[in-house]
Amino acid sequence: MAATFELDQAVFEQPQGNVRGFLLAMVTYSNGKSKRLAHSYLLTDSVPDISMDLPKSIAPADVAVVAEALLAFQARLAELNTP
């Protein structure tokens, strides 16, 4: 099984406090396990609050997918954070 990733996002019509949405990157590794790779709250009053859960160990074949997922996460975050 090849590793894959997906991005999930939500932007709220009405902010919940100072949170106007979120962005999430999930990776399904070649061993079949799915794990969160990155998460960001989109804030109304400051830069996005980003947390990352990088794997401690990883199959060599999965490294490119993790890198691709992080680049896609960064690009989507830039789109969502542009006024």
The 10s digit of each residue's pLDDT in 11-65 is: 999 999 999 999 999 999 999 999 999 999 999 999 999 999 999 999 999 999 9
**Of 54, 22, 56, nearest to 37 (Cα)?**
54
Q: How many domains does the chain have?
A: 1
Contact at 8 Å (CB) between 69 and 27? yes
pTM: 0.92
The 10s digit of each residue's pLDDT in 52-74 is: 999 999 999 999 999 999 999 99
Contact at 8 Å (CB) between 25 and 77? no
Domain of residue 8 covers 4-80
Q: Which residues of 66-80 are buried (b: 16+ CB within 10 A; e: fewer)?
A: beebbeebeeebeeb
The residues that bridge with 26 in the sheet, in sequence order, are 6, 36
